[in-house]
Amino acid sequence: MENFIVSARKYRPATFDMVIGQDSITNTLKSAIKNKHLTQAYLFCGPRGVGKTTCARIFAKTINCSNLGENLEACDECESCLSFNSSRSFNIHELDAASNNKVEDIRSLNDQVRIPPQIGKYSIYIIDEVHMLSSSAFNAFLKTLEEPPSHAIFILATTEKHKIIPTILSRCQIFDFNRIRIEDIVGRLTYVARNEGITAEDEALHIIGQKADGALRDALSIFDQIVSLSGKKITYKDVIENLNVLDYEYYFNIVEAAITGDVSTVLLTFNEVLEKGFDGHNFISGLNSHLRDLLVSKDESTLRLLEATPAIKKRYLQQTGECPIDFLFKSLEIGNNCDLNYKSSKNQRLHIELSLIRLCMLMAESVEPAEKKKPDLHHLNKTTENLPLLQKSEILREEISVSEKVISQEKLSGRHDPVIEKASKNFSIKDIITEDIGPAEKNEEKMVLNDPEVTIKPKIDFTQQAFEAAWNEFTEQLKGEGTRVVSMFKSIRPELESDRFVRIHLNNAAQKDTFILSYKPKLVNFLEERFVLTGIDIETIVDLSEDSDILYSDEQKLNYLINKYPILKEMKKTFNLDIT
């Protein structure tokens, strides 16, 4: 029985040209070989499965090749290349830092570096997963890495660059490897399938590329897994079933039903998804990705952001034409909130179902009901063209008088109609006055509708005498809040500085806090309703004098003494004193 070799090893790139998705890095390395600008240390970092170790091996092999081609690729014919291909080269050394991360291992490496190469010009040391070295091992490696022998070159590879100490980073040329695009992964999988005699659908390979998350090695492993299940023919259905991926069709159906407001279809589709064993969180995440793809399909300039096969792109373009842009924005907002709050929800299924119902209601909210008919303006103009125009205040007075008559008739007849009574109080007099009455009329009268009788109180000018009277009236209104509050306001000395500036003299800091938090907003509203002014500034000042005749509480006296003699606070704390 022939031994099976996984595709990730069988189709591992052997030259720079075969490396997928890292053109900028391979071009830089080839240029360094061409110009003979080789440094003593390189650091290859990036996600898993993107070609770090592969590029390190190709680079090491190419450096020692004695017969480079015009494209700066290794010849695979010289002794150095043949020994490397057969894994018997003594010039290229690979070290796994995950299992050799101690100081003793690095010391052994430092001793080995002194030995010159047997064949070729350089001895290359490839250290994989270098971030696994301990701090002591890193420090032992510093001197050798900075000043190695002229024949030694170090190539470090890691997936976690942030774990490497800065002194190591500063001694290396750093190359950041990118995640491989889905199109590049699909192209590589197509090449492998063709060489293996396997028929694969484009949608199936695209799903494998999405599942690999930018790692070509993961994509090839998934490809081998699907081949083991399906044999020589890979279909889209086999891939989504084997990888537990939700079909595109569910998302298209849900968005289509949401546009028409079909709540039942949306909920039944979601129930079918759950019955097939899919997680609700993965479902809502996939729906958000689907809505995002619909959004980027709206504009030709962003269409290239859509990673899908031509057939799927055509479906996206067809559905995005039916979706208003506002619907997509609001749907993404709803989906994102559902995703964020999913784990904290006690009833996670209901949480998703409510979000789906909101999606169905979006179109209904954006479109006015068809039953609402526009008024016949032409007929209305004919019936009102000879009538005099009335101000809204006059209409208001007329309605109030009609309401008074109706109420009086009800009193005589002994019956009360609650509908008519509510109608007479269902509008704001203040809003109508501020909207339609001019600035002069605003200041002339104020309408209060507490009873069936309407009283009109004109605003007066803001003077010292009028302010003192208003202050006394405001104090009288506070009697219901207790004698303590009334006493406080009677002890306060208000002072009018100008037509918009009032200074309030308070007796202590406690009164100041109480006044600002509880009574200053009420006082401002009271004054603005009574006087002719558009804005008022109230300043509060604490006047606490020793010769004052006002009676203070023990706590107020203590606070005054502490403010005057701060040492009392320390004494109180040291001796645990209290007010007796």
pLDDT at 478: 79
Q: For residue 242, what pLDDT is reported?
A: 87
What is the Cα–Cα distance from 68 to 71, expressed in whole angstroms?
8
The first and second tokens of residue 235, run together, are: 């279909």
pLDDT digits 0-9 by tens, 551-573: 666 777 777 788 778 888 788 87
Residue 457: predicted pLDDT: 58
Model confidence, pTM: 0.59
Residue type at 69 in one-letter notation:
G
* 3-state SS assignment for residue 493: strand
Distance CA 155, CA 173 (A): 9
- Torsions phi, psi of 26, nearest 5? -65, -35
Which pLDDT score, from 0 to 100, does residue 52 have? 93
CA 402 to chain centre: 57
Q: How many CB atoms neighbour CB 128 within 10 A?
A: 19
What's the start-to-end Cα distance of the chain, in Å? 100
For residue 167, the number of C-alpha atoms closer than 13 Å in the C-beta half-sphere is: 12
To 5 degrees, how large is the angle CA 458–CA 463–CA 466? 60
User: Can you give the three-state secondary structure of 172-215, one letter per residue?
Assistant: CEEEECCCCCHHHHHHHHHHHHHHHCCEECHHHHHHHHHHHCCC
Per-residue pLDDT of the chain (580 residues; tens, 9 = 90+): 467 889 999 999 989 989 998 999 999 999 999 898 999 999 999 999 999 999 999 999 999 888 887 888 888 888 888 888 888 888 889 988 888 889 998 999 988 898 888 777 899 999 999 999 998 999 999 988 888 998 999 999 999 999 999 999 999 999 999 999 999 999 999 999 999 999 999 999 999 998 998 899 999 999 999 998 888 899 998 898 888 888 889 999 999 999 999 999 999 999 999 998 899 999 999 999 999 999 999 888 888 888 888 888 889 999 998 899 999 999 999 999 999 999 999 999 999 999 999 999 988 776 544 444 444 544 444 444 444 444 444 544 554 454 455 444 544 445 444 433 334 344 444 444 444 444 444 444 444 444 444 445 567 777 777 778 888 888 887 777 777 777 778 778 787 777 677 888 777 777 777 878 778 888 888 887 777 766 677 878 777 554 445 566 677 777 778 877 888 878 887 887 877 6
**Number of other CB atoms surrounding residue 451 within 10 Å:** 9
The rounded distance, in Å, linking the Cα atoms of 386 and 168 is: 93
CB 447 within 8 A of CB 429: yes
DSSP β-bridge partners for residue 505: 493, 541
Q: How far apart are CA 152 and CA 92, in angstroms?
A: 10
**Separation CA 213–CA 180 (nearest Å):** 8
Note the pLDDT tens digit of each residue in 50-100: 999 999 999 999 998 888 878 888 888 888 888 888 888 888 899 888 888
Q: What is residue 327's predicted lDDT score, i.e. its pLDDT?
A: 92
CA 323 from centroid of its chain's CA atoms: 24
What DSSP element (H or E) covers 41?
Answer: strand 41-45
* 149 contacts 113 by C-beta, under 8 angstroms: yes
What is the rounded distance in angstroms from the CA atom of residue 236 to the CA atom of residue 215?
Answer: 20
Q: Which of 242, 240, 235, 247 is nearest to 272 (CA)?
A: 247
Q: What is the 3-state secondary structure (H, E, C) of 128-162?
A: ECHHHCCHHHHHHHHHHHHCCCCCEEEEEEECCHH
User: Among 311, 319, 329, which Cα is nearest to 260's?
Assistant: 319
Alpha carbon separation from 7 to 81, 216, 234 (Å, rounded): 23, 11, 16
Residue 225 in 3-state DSSP?
Answer: helix
Distance separating alpha carbons of residues 416 and 151, to the nearest angstrom:
108
Q: Which amino acid is at 175?
A: F
